[in-house]
Structure 1
């Protein structure tokens, strides 16, 4: 593996640059464009500025690495590493003024995501996972990440971003799990995965994800001891329908319900 220290330092530099690009726009009268005909998929200048800032740093520090970003697409590389960037995961929350959106920075090799950051500029929290690192750095200092040991669905807390989840069938599958857990909460975007890694929730179930939505959360949750797969138990690196679980027992029980 290439110099992990240099890669990690670069990831934190990207997160710092994204914070500087985004925060001047937060809770202002920022214009919003819609990327989805017939629906609503917002993007703002804050999204674009943050990704440009991160790409500029990668161009200087890591010119041989590939990049996959939400706003500016794919840039090929020759090193075997890909930086997977979501400059604002949760733009709907961002434009609504809620503080649960985040910047996602993932590093992937041929095997999938191996390192990730979930950064929340406004709250000042940064979740890091991969290569024997699993920590939260925030206003109250540094804290190790570790999932909790919940094994019973009846005692679990479940999170997802949208009550609709995905297709009609996806939503019906989600409701089968939600009917069995102690508590279901909505609307956290990437912050739900951070809370799972921190040991405050037990399951995150989503559908319709893109690779840049899941690369960093996958690395963080796995580094904290959790499990992240698709709904069939395979790799979640490509996005789609994703489940993150604190324990193998919860993962198996939820998969059984998701698959009917």
Structure 2
């Protein structure tokens, strides 16, 4: 799978440069099917550029892109792309956004990468080989207890029921951790992979929000499940576009304690 990492590094670096070129110059728009979700010209342009490169280099593979739909493939490989994760942050001028590309074989994440353009960082991972940050192996310390850990929790604007669930979970977790952080972007998941944060939770993710962060967190030694501790289901990924995932990404020793304090 070395060809995946080389491709991911090149493609994510180019996408990061493009994002920095757009940064501070975009006007937010809103998706037709979800008025709470921001989209910008950067999301669209970067997504199309990534798809062009994937289909050029890996023409048999499928692609799921958050912004522009899917490309049907004939192989067992599906690329899952989020050209700007944290679009509302990006449009507002916040540096807490990222570019994500994940690789599935069937329903299993096998490679992926995340660029954090504002920080000049590219993270790469493949199954069984750990995580690389800017060319160097990542060696995170996941030894903290929940009482000394920072925990990130992403909250989207949505209906009353889910909002009540989010705040019930926030109350429960905040009673046991050192503090809460909320970028509502892949930045939070990367902080789990690096060992800076102990965990990241979200109740409203799509497949493009999950695949790349999952391989990073797991290859860094963490756990990545739904908020009930169940593995995420990516089987037949082309059918999962509308599926809503909950996510708990955590240091290995914090995963179970967080599950135990979350409300049912």
* TM-score, L = length of structure 1: 0.89
Q: Provide closer, same or farther for how the CA distance between residues 22 and 245 of structure 1 changes in structure 2, counting only shifts above 3 A.
A: same
Instruction: Output aligned runs, 1:33-182, within 5 Å.
Output: 33-35=29-31, 39-131=35-127, 132-137=129-134, 142-150=136-144, 152-162=145-155, 166-182=162-178
Aligned partners of 2:9 and 2:122 also within 8 Å: no
Aligned residues: 251
Q: 1:243 to 1:164 in 2, by over 3 A?
A: farther
- The alpha-carbon distance between structure 1 residues 104 and 147, as it changes in their structure 2 partners (threshold 3 A), is farther
Deviations 1:100-123 (A, max 9, x none): 100001001124212111101232
Mapped pair 1:27 → 2:14: no
Counterpart CA distance in 2 for 1:114 and 1:5 is 11
Runs (4+) off by over 3 Å: 36-39, 163-167
* 1:38 Cα deviation from its structure 2 partner: 7.4
2:248 maps to 1:243: yes
Give ranges in structure 1 of 5+ residues lacking alignment.
none
Given the two structures, how large is their TM-score scaled by the length of structure 2?
0.88
Aligned CA RMSD, in angstroms, stands at 2.0
Q: Match for residue 6 of structure 1?
A: 3
* Equivalent-residue separation in structure 1 for 2:233 and 2:212 (angstroms): 10
* Cα 1:170–1:161 shift into 2, 3 Å: closer
Bigger mean CA deviation after superposition, 159-168 or 187-196: 159-168
Matched residues in 2 for 1:188 and 1:41: separation?
12
Q: Distance in 2 between matches of 1:162 and 1:173?
A: 11
Equivalent residue for 1:194?
Answer: 190
Structure with the bigger RCO (C-alpha within 8 Å, sep 6+) is: 2
Residues in 1 aligned to 2:137 and 2:76: alpha-carbon distance in whole angstroms: 32
